[in-house]
Structure 1
Amino acid sequence: ESALRSLSEHNQALRSPSGVNSGFRVPPVRNIISPAKSETVRLLFHGWLRVRDVILTQLNGSSLSLTSKQWRCLLEVCGWKYNDVDPSTATGKRQMEMRVLLDRFCNTSHSNSEDFSVRPVFWGGSSLSAATDFPTDIGREIIWELQELGFRNDLIALDKHVDESKMRPAERRALLNGCWEGTA
């Protein structure tokens, strides 16, 4: 109880200490499921599914690391706010940054990039409509995948900081994959 009381007083809005990367390699689940309006939750899920393949290709070796606000903005841009940009506001600037990031990931220029918010959305081979409520079982599967990806990336990052084994990188990756798959 005293630990919870101590943590409740911690201001999580403080900047991270120097040298600590507090970014996320995949969107925090709370960004998707925390909005009060179910329509917003549905559109954020759709945003993730639209950009999912692009992001998954960036996880292997890329330095992709976004703040919670950047992830939320990226999901909004991919979900429904692609063309609604007011560059004079902080949110508009962040939306423009996310569009540039998308263009970079897709190797396109802004003039050639497509509007991610109109891409069809698929999960498990099935098309999902943006106009209807999101099926709960599919939502759970997506949340599970995001949590698993986040955990794996956290494990790899932690291992890089504590590994003193002098193993070659390929051997270390094989060891970590073995731990994940239950074969180590």
Structure 2
Amino acid sequence: MFVLTHNQNCMNEFKKAWKGFHKPRNEATPPTASLLFLDVKIPKGLDGRSTAIVEMSKLLREDESEYHYLVDHVLKFNASADPDYEYAYMMPNVLRRVLDVFLAFRCPGSAGFASKMGQLRKDHATLDGERLAALERLVQLESHSDNIDDLIGFSSMTLEESKAATAALIAMMEAVDPTHLAGLQRLCR
């Protein structure tokens, strides 16, 4: 049986149900289930995306949230000096999603993005306003699709803008919650 889903909650229910089949408690028992996912990237030297079915990342397999998996991509993208980074095309959306989760926990409540960023500025006066503006631009570009092309095409952000937004996000996380960021860095090694 194959189950394909884009729904995180659905995937979590199947992971819970099949965890014992994927990694049986008795190590002598062979696994009877696989937890796989579609890995989409643009390999170096190719013009288009490539998809492969691969073993699900431990960061997706072991957690009910994709947050750690997405932060892992953010950290790898930030550390990469390669202009042909395989996952660069998805980074604007990944950055927005990581920022959304981080802000949800750092600034609880139903306030919108602008209010939460304002709260961070108020609570952390040392934050770089220019870098925060890069994050705000990211959210504005990646959160509001004006037409179907925005959903099926590449982001309008350049690689340089994505890199700057990545550095800004990590610097903001470092300033606001260094313990949290250090924990993520340990987890994502």
TM-score, structure 2 normalization:
0.24
